[in-house]
Structure 1
């Protein structure tokens, strides 16, 4: 059974599954992984060089991993400023925050350019405190952003925060317009369509079973082999399982979500009427937003840990923390106490040591 977002997206996307790879093929670039990272890489390569032969393999169907089941909160790296500064220095940290905010707008521009209906809403985000211990926890990073001329957040009166967030549980809040919400399954299936239109060859149900480095590299699959001048490994949480050297770089941890039945009338009553994303100040945050058809999606990170790169069966099942999620929903939104929960799900997230993505060269040949 597919997670809610992907199942909903597949109702609209009735295209055929791309055939599994058979036999040996040659390509300029082979991308392993059919989520946001892999598909956007493929699209940008074809946009910059339409003649480039780009082939993508995906173990399941495109979007079956984190890209088709995440919370749908498109956020910048502003809150990570101190980590960015510690790792890269002030000048690069400032550049990365600016670029991360620009990327939020770029998602919307992409959807508009290619007619991707991903429920993209550029309605901003609220970083809030939901208990006394969290109050003031955002002050230092806001001050640093302000000092460097890159602060997009303003502190809002508590009454405004509670009205915008639809909940009286919030004790303070900072609002930034540089954030969006999306239906993540629709976005990833839209990326797949655009990649195919641009000439990317996609093979679904084609897992990488081995990688022989060299010039060229050889990517083994169950029924074939790809010989590629360059390889992009865009597997994210699945990297630790495939390559033991990443076991100590990332912890595999779940994010668990629920979504209610549509109740636009109640959303109107509580004031949660925009696509604003709302996050509290925990390390493994609560996060939520509404949907255009009147649902509330609420999630919480950090419930199931799977060390050593293991992919646990629970990651493809309804959330075992459904009761916890429902109690959180009721706590934030008492008016939704009797509203039916249509689905719960979870999935593996690769939590890196720094909390930031990392990328780099993996092979001695310099082409992976």
Structure 2
């Protein structure tokens, strides 16, 4: 059995439900979704909310949340910092709309959790984009000015003393704060989505990998023990797309994000002033990011350490982080008070970095149904 990252292990320990049975044989569905992470589960839920009669079936190769959704940094952020890319790709009007929608979606996560009683440690406490060395200073100015010009800027520059106090660290040399961001326990969120999907009547089969895709109307999703015939198919596999479909090898780079989490030390969090659920990111290409947890831990991560070529899923992605020493060094640099605090766990995982840094959506079948 693969090692479960800290977030997912914590979420699984808090629930009592058994895994959903693997698909036992051939079946038929209106919609078949491949992938039981945020993308797949939220798609299933929204389809059922709009049309409860729709027969939606979801297959997942492992258990729901075993991919990126159950092990990410838990920083719920908008697309405002990507404004220039959005404008280049889609023009001003659509870029403005997407920034607004992306900020609205942060609030929508909280509304969803409240509506369905999902306890995902959702805290709408904002984000700080900071500089941690002289070279990073000023790197946010241009995008803030563009957001300001278009009337969509939610960021304010804070005095350095405020930034250091809110972020709990003297390492920050400047910072911009936006209230339109949240932190979550990502494993609890994805397992909550699974529960809601089941409640709404989505048929879920875990430990059911897609082994092939037959084009046609209906399309056929092959699995080890049967084929799903479906009028429409949604492929929601993210980093795993490049392995399943060679045409994605050049569209996404598989790159790790490595994380650690400390034992609970709420006393030290009080001492350094990191007492809200604010998410903090520096201005590197592959950023450091961190936030605390309601039970008094610090989660700190860094992107971009391991690259996997040709869509390969490396064994290291399901093991403790090989960069634990680097993470621990960063932890003690940001928080000298935590230098001797026990690290409860480290982990990493594959994330799909697209050429633009944005997700992309598209049609994959000549029949227009995938």
TM-score greater than 0.5 by the shorter chain: yes
CA distance in structure 1 between the aligned counterparts of 2:142 and 2:39, rounded to whole angstroms: 31
Q: For 2:26, what is the secondary structure of its paired residue? A: strand
Q: CA deviation at 1:163?
A: 0.0
Q: CA deviation at 1:197?
A: 0.1
Q: CA deviation at 1:355?
A: 0.2
Q: What's the C-alpha RMSD, in Å, of the aligned pairs?
A: 0.3
CA distance in structure 2 between the aligned counterparts of 1:206 and 1:29, rounded to whole angstroms: 16
Q: For 1:297, what is the secondary structure of its paired residue? A: strand
Q: What does 1:19-34 correspond to in 2, within 5 Å?
A: 19-34=21-36
CA distance in structure 2 between the aligned counterparts of 1:213 and 1:92, rounded to whole angstroms: 33
Map of 1:313 onto structure 2: 315
CA distance in structure 1 between the aligned counterparts of 2:334 and 2:249, rounded to whole angstroms: 36
Structure 1: 4+ residue segments shifted above 6 A: none
CA distance in structure 1 between the aligned counterparts of 2:30 and 2:90, rounded to whole angstroms: 32
Q: CA deviation at 1:342?
A: 0.1
Given candidates 118, 127, 130, the residue that maps to 1:128 is 130
Map of 1:116 onto structure 2: 118
CA distance in structure 2 between the aligned counterparts of 1:80 and 1:360, rounded to whole angstroms: 20
CA distance in structure 2 between the aligned counterparts of 1:317 and 1:19, rounded to whole angstroms: 26
CA distance in structure 1 between the aligned counterparts of 2:132 and 2:243, rounded to whole angstroms: 36
Map of 1:324 onto structure 2: 326
* Cα displacement string for residues 309-336 of structure 1 (whole angstroms, at most 9, x for unaligned residues): 0000000000000000000000000000
* Cα displacement string for residues 142-196 of structure 1 (whole angstroms, at most 9, x for unaligned residues): 0000000000000000000000000000000000000000000000000000000
Q: CA deviation at 1:223?
A: 0.6
Given candidates 138, 141, 151, the residue that maps to 2:140 is 138
Given candidates 271, 274, 295, the residue that maps to 1:272 is 274
Map of 1:91 onto structure 2: 93
Q: CA deviation at 1:109?
A: 0.1
Is 1:361 matched up with 2:356? Answer: no
CA distance in structure 2 between the aligned counterparts of 1:131 and 1:34, rounded to whole angstroms: 39
CA distance in structure 1 between the aligned counterparts of 2:88 and 2:319, rounded to whole angstroms: 38
Map of 2:179 onto structure 1: 177
Map of 2:292 onto structure 1: 290
Q: What does 1:37-186 correspond to in 2, within 5 Å?
A: 37-186=39-188
Q: How many residues align?
A: 368
Map of 1:250 onto structure 2: 252
CA distance in structure 2 between the aligned counterparts of 1:23 and 1:139, rounded to whole angstroms: 57
Q: CA deviation at 1:34?
A: 0.1
Q: TM-score, normalised by structure 1?
A: 1.00
Q: What does 1:208-287 correspond to in 2, within 5 Å?
A: 208-287=210-289
Q: CA deviation at 1:367?
A: 0.1
CA distance in structure 2 between the aligned counterparts of 1:23 and 1:164, rounded to whole angstroms: 54
Q: CA deviation at 1:14?
A: 1.6
5+ long unaligned stretches in structure 1:
none
CA distance in structure 2 between the aligned counterparts of 1:338 and 1:367, rounded to whole angstroms: 55
CA distance in structure 1 between the aligned counterparts of 2:280 and 2:215, rounded to whole angstroms: 44
Q: For 1:23, what is the secondary structure of its paired residue? A: coil
Map of 1:199 onto structure 2: 201
Q: TM-score, normalised by structure 2?
A: 0.99
